[in-house]
């Protein structure tokens, strides 16, 4: 984002899968956000880094940008660079309360910085079928967003919580767990949706 190295130089092959390339972040990324403040076209730095030429060099099918839980310059850069937004929502009251503010911020970015941005997917997570609240949140999200919400719901799972402690994804840590199998189902549903939707043009109109 600061233009010091190319995307291909920053990308590293995941130890979990040869088909997954990652551009890892450290706490230093917080410092990068401060440096961005004084830069020209600071909201477009990530979009420039993810140019068609840079992505062709990596030969990837999907690019996922994981955002911090705040609307700082890093998140704004991600929203400007993206075509779609995937929103994971915990099946809890305060997560639902924050969703409205997030959607307002997305509307602002769409109006002023990225007209092609849209919310394509909502994934309900940390679902606990034993509580009425989880069912209420699920019902409200599905009533409001319809087919934008995936059919797959990620249950609250101890294995999902434990996996990061071993520096692993839940798929590597315990692939047979309910949490891992639910994430596989969600990924499959997203991929199936992708094959049914027209591919949006890239920034160069291709």
Kindly state the percentage of the chain with pLDDT values over 70.
94
**How far is the C-alpha of 28 from the C-alpha of 150, rounded, in Å?**
34
The number of residues making up the chain comes to 206
C-beta separation of 109 from 77 below 8 A: no
pLDDT, one tens digit per residue, over 55-70 is 988 888 889 999 877 7
CATH of the domain at 108: 3.40.50.300
Domain coverage including residue 96: 83-200
Does a structural domain hold residue 129? yes
Per-residue model confidence as pLDDT tens digits over 127-185 = 988 888 888 889 989 988 899 999 999 999 999 999 999 988 899 999 999 999 999 99
Residue 19 in domain: yes
- Clarify whether residues 121 and 61 are in a common domain: no
Please report which helix (H) or strand (E) contains residue 41, including its range.
Answer: none
With beta carbons less than 8 A apart as the criterion, state whether 61 and 20 touch.
Answer: no
What is the three-class DSSP state of 155? strand
Domain final residue, candidates 81, 98, 115: 81
Q: Which of 30, 63, 81 is the last residue of a domain?
A: 81
Query: In 59-134, where do the E strands start and end?
Result: 84-90, 118-127
Cβ proximity of 76 and 43 under 8 Å: yes
Count the Cβ atoms, other than its own, within 10 Å of residue 32. 16
pLDDT band of residue 206 (cuts 50, 70, 90) is: very low
For the chain, state the CA radius of gyration. Answer: 18
Q: 69 and 87 share a domain?
A: no
205 assigned to some structural domain: no
Shared-domain flag, residues 113 and 57: no
Q: Is there a single domain that holds both residue 134 and residue 76?
A: no
pLDDT of residue 199: 52
Residues 162 and 96 in one domain: yes
0.85 cut: is pTM over it?
A: no
């Amino acid at each position: 984002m600061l233009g010091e190295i190319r995307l291909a130089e920053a990308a590293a092959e995941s130890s979990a899968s040869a088909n997954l390339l990652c551009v890892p972040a450290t706490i230093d990324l917080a410092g990068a956000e401060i440096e961005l403040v004084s830069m020209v076209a600071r909201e477009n730095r990530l979009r420039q880094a993810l140019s068609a030429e840079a992505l062709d060099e990596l030969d990837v099918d999907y690019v996922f940008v994981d955002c911090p839980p705040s609307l700082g310059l890093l998140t704004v850069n991600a929203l400007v660079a993206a075509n779609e937004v995937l929103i994971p929502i915990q099946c809890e009251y305060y997560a639902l309360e924050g969703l409205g503010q997030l959607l307002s911020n997305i509307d602002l970015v769409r109006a002023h910085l990225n007209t092609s941005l849209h919310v394509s997917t909502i994934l309900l997570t940390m679902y606990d079928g034993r509580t009425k609240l989880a069912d209420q949140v699920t019902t409200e999200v599905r009533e409001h967003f319809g087919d934008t919400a995936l059919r797959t719901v990620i249950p609250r799972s101890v294995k999902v919580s434990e996996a990061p402690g071993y520096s692993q994804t839940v798929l590597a840590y315990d692939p047979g767990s309910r949490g891992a199998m639910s994430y596989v189902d969600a990924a499959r549903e997203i991929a199936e949706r992708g094959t049914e939707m027209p591919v949006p043009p890239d920034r160069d109109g291709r």
